[in-house]
């Protein structure tokens, strides 16, 4: 069973988003354990025994075991063995090192200690995470915005117009669906920003209890719209409480009260805004200096060809097209090669409507067709493309379709670059439907700290000159 399958099962079974940190300090153990042969292990077993039906996960911090000397890792291993097999174990190790060392760390975490997940430091980049990613089904929680006061020293520094911790969130969650993010409850505004940047990621939230994080603010910022998507870690306030079970029950109850309200709330972002951010995060929207098919030089490049390799995002984009197509009267859809072909296929499958496409190049072999697919003269067809700039490429495709006796009234695109293409086609009698305008896209990217206001102004200024 992989980490997230085990986690979801434990959440449902125990009705809990509470993760209990097993961070034993011999100086704080109850006096009754002093006479035990192995006081730390006996203490840990007691905590697990009285809270196993209240937790969705346990998180031992490896530092507390290393501090015990040669026996420490043995105690950690026995502690993990004492945790019921249907409750996941997150090893809090915050590892991050070069490839060969990372491989040893990964082996220790997953093969020796048999943890289900581990916390990692992304500072050394991808190759420091790759050995952990190689363990299929294991959970990786990347340090994003930590709960300590010093988090502001580096994590909020601006990189290309956005805080470093958001760059980490965007980068890390593109690597694997098994990656979650660590965001401290002491910074609820950071949790909200991370949730917007990574709407589908699981967030591990420390800082509740002894660090005085605001539970309500943290959860409201971190929930994914269905009252889930977060794991709340509490350590000292439970394990050192006079009655650890009661403390765990109280935390679970408080979390669930907030969670119940969270389930009733609408998703965090409007669907259009979420799609814009996901397109940006997937590098379908890039900034720099690019030459377009029209020959114009542009400060922004929109590449929806990448969607063919991103089936989840392709499905969301197809849903946007379907929303625009449903009110239209049509018999067929015609996708303009090449970016619109995978989009058109996804739309055709979902709507159960035939797809054709006008060829970009003349075919000199076989049937020598200019239009691929089955169609009849007089059928009404909507033209699909990824975006519209000048409208010239759309007009070429329309002329091929009309020469074949098809009727074209509507052109449907995801993005209007707002550079005159809509007006160009509408003057020729065609209706243009777009889901996102470039100005709106830039506004959303600024609002959610993907680009700076100055960068937006620079882009608009450059576009006005082309």
Q: Containing H/E element for 386?
A: strand 380-388
Cα(344)–Cα(382) distance, integer angstroms: 11
**Rounded Cα distance, 70 and 93, in Å:** 17
Catalytic residue list: 94
- What is the spatial distance between Cα 406 and Cα 380, in angstroms, rounded to a whole number? 6
> 227: alpha, beta or left, given left = phi > 0 and alpha = psi -120 to 50?
left
Per the listing, tokens 């979801």 go with: 8
H/E element holding 234? Answer: strand 230-234
CA 356 to chain centre: 33
> Which residues have a Cβ under 8 Å from the Cβ of 222 and sit 6 or more positions away?
183, 191, 192, 194, 195, 203, 205, 229, 230
For residue 120, what are its two tokens?
A: 């990692």
Classify the phi-psi angles of 299: left when phi > 0, otherwise alpha if psi is within -120 to 50, otherwise beta.
Answer: alpha
CA distance 83 to 89: 8
How far is Cα 416 from Cα 431, in angstroms, rounded to an integer? 13
């Amino acid at each position: 069973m992989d980490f997230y399958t085990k986690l979801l099962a434990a959440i449902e079974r125990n009705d809990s988003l509470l993760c209990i940190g097993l961070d034993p300090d011999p100086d704080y153990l109850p006096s009754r354990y002093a006479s035990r042969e192995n006081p730390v292990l006996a203490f840990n077993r007691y905590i697990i025994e009285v809270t196993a039906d209240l937790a969705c996960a346990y998180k031992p911090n490896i530092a507390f075991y290393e501090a015990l000397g040669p026996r420490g890792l043995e105690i950690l291993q026995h502690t993990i063995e004492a945790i019921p097999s249907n409750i996941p174990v997150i090893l809090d190790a915050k590892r991050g090192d070069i490839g060969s060392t990372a491989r040893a760390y990964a082996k220790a975490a997953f093969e020796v200690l048999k943890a289900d997940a581990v916390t990692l430091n992304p500072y050394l980049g991808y190759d420091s995470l790759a050995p952990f990613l190689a363990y299929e089904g294991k959970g990786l929680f990347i340090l994003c915005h930590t709960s300590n006061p010093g988090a502001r020293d580096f994590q909020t520094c601006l990189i290309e117009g956005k805080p470093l911790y958001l760059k980490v969130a965007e980068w890390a969650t593109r690597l694997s669906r098994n990656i979650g993010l660590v965001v401290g409850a002491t910074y609820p505004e950071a949790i909200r920003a991370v949730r917007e940047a990574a709407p589908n990621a699981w967030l591990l939230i420390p800082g509740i209890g002894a660090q005085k994080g605001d539970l309500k603010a943290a959860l409201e910022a971190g929930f994914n719209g269905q009252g889930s998507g977060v794991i709340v870690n509490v350590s000292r306030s439970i394990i050192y409480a006079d009655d650890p079970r009661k403390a765990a029950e109280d935390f679970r109850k408080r979390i669930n009260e907030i969670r119940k309200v969270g389930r009733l709330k609408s998703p965090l972002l409007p669907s259009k805004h979420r799609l814009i951010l996901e397109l940006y995060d997937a590098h379908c929207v890039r900034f720099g200096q690019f030459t377009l098919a029209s020959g114009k030089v542009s400060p922004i490049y929109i590449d929806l060809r990448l969607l063919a390799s991103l089936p989840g995002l392709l499905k969301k984009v197809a849903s946007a097209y379907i929303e625009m197509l449903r009110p239209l009267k049509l018999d067929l859809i015609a996708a303009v090669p090449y970016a619109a072909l995978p989009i058109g296929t996804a739309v055709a499958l979902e709507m159960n409507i035939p797809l054709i496409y006008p060829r970009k190049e003349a075919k000199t072999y076989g049937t020598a067709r200019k239009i691929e697919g089955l169609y009849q003269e007089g059928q009404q067809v909507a033209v699909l493309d990824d975006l519209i700039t000048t409208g010239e490429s759309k007009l070429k495709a329309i002329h091929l379709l009309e020469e074949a006796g098809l009727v074209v009234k509507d052109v449907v695109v995801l993005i209007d670059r707002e550079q005159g293409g809509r007006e160009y086609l509408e003057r020729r009698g065609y209706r243009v439907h777009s889901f996102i305008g470039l100005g709106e896209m830039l506004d959303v990217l600024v609002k959610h700290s993907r680009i700076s206001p100055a960068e937006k102004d620079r882009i608009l200024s450059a576009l006005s000159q082309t």
